[in-house]
A = this chain, B = another copy of it.
Amino acid sequence: MSNSKLYKGSLTTIILKLLEDGGKMYGYEITQKVKEMTRGELQITEGALYPALHKLEADGLLQVEVKKVDNRLRKYYKLTQKGDKEASRQLAELEKFMETMQTMLFPKPKFS
């Protein structure tokens, strides 16, 4: 998940956002989508992704549907109602986080 530790803690937010936009997605698809959207900047490792998906499911935020495509399994995930609310919550939280970091680390100089 990139060589930067700053991404730590942001994975579930990313997953929830993608599912909010994209309807249902399967794990591998998520890794590819993120790689594409960030032009390779952020690579989600499977060792991080799958446990995260399983936890979101266990917490009732995601619902699974297994499909067989080209004789290969795909586990499609989509947001539950609870997951939809949590997606909004985490997105708002991320915006606040970004603002806070901005004001703290890149403060606008005041005229004096």
Q: How far is the CB of A21 from chain B (nearest CB, A)?
A: 9
Q: Does A52 contact B (CB under 8 A)?
A: no
Q: How far is the CB of A61 from chain B (nearest CB, A)?
A: 15
Q: Does A31 contact B (CB under 8 A)?
A: no
The answer to whether B14 and A103 touch across the interface, beta carbons within 8 angstroms, is no
Copies in the complex: 2
The answer to whether B97 and A6 touch across the interface, beta carbons within 8 angstroms, is yes
Q: Chain A, interface size: which category? A: 20 to 34
Query: What are 29 sample pairs from A and B whose C-beta atoms fall under 8 A apart?
Result: A4-B9, A4-B93, A4-B96, A4-B97, A5-B9, A6-B9, A6-B10, A6-B93, A6-B94, A6-B97, A8-B8, A9-B9, A10-B101, A14-B105, A17-B105, A34-B104, A37-B103, A37-B104, A37-B107, A38-B100, A38-B103, A38-B104, A41-B96, A41-B100, A42-B104, A91-B105, A94-B105, A98-B98, A98-B101
